[in-house]
Chain A
Amino acid sequence: MSLRGRDIVSIRDLSTEEINEILDRARKLIPIAEGKKSSDALDGRVVATAFFEPSTRTRLSFEAAVQRLGGRCLTIADIGVTSMRKGESLYDTIRMLSSYSDAIVLRHPNEGAARLAADASDQPVINAGDGANQHPTQALLDLMAIEESFGTLAGLKVVLLGDLKYGRTVHSLSLALAQYGSEMVLSAPKALALPEDLRSELDSLGAKITEEPEIKRAVRDADVLYVTRIQKERFPDEGEYRTVAGSYRVDASVLEGAKPRLIVLHPLPRAGEVDPEVDRTPHAAYFRQAFLAVPVRMALLSSILPSGRAG
Chain B
Amino acid sequence: MTDDLQSYTIDPEREPDEREDIRDLLAKCGLDYETGVEAFVVFRRKQRLMACAGLEKNIVKCAAIDPELRGEALGLKLLTEVSHLAYERGHSHLFLYTKPDCVEFFRACGFYLLAEVPGLVALMENTPIGMKTYCDGLKRLRRPGAVIGAIVMNANPFTRGHRYLVERAAAACDCLHVFVVAEDVSLIKYRDRYALVAEGIADIPRVMLHHGSEYMVSRATFSAYFLKEKGLVENCCTAIDLLIFRNHIGPALGITHRFVGTEPFCRTTFKYNADMRHWLRDDVSPAPAIEVVEIERTQSEDVAISASEVRRLLAADDFNRIRRLVPAATLELLETKYRVPRSSAA
Pairing of A with B: no
Give chain B's interface residues, CB within 8 Å of chain A. Answer: none
Give chain A's interface residues, CB within 8 Å of chain B. Answer: none
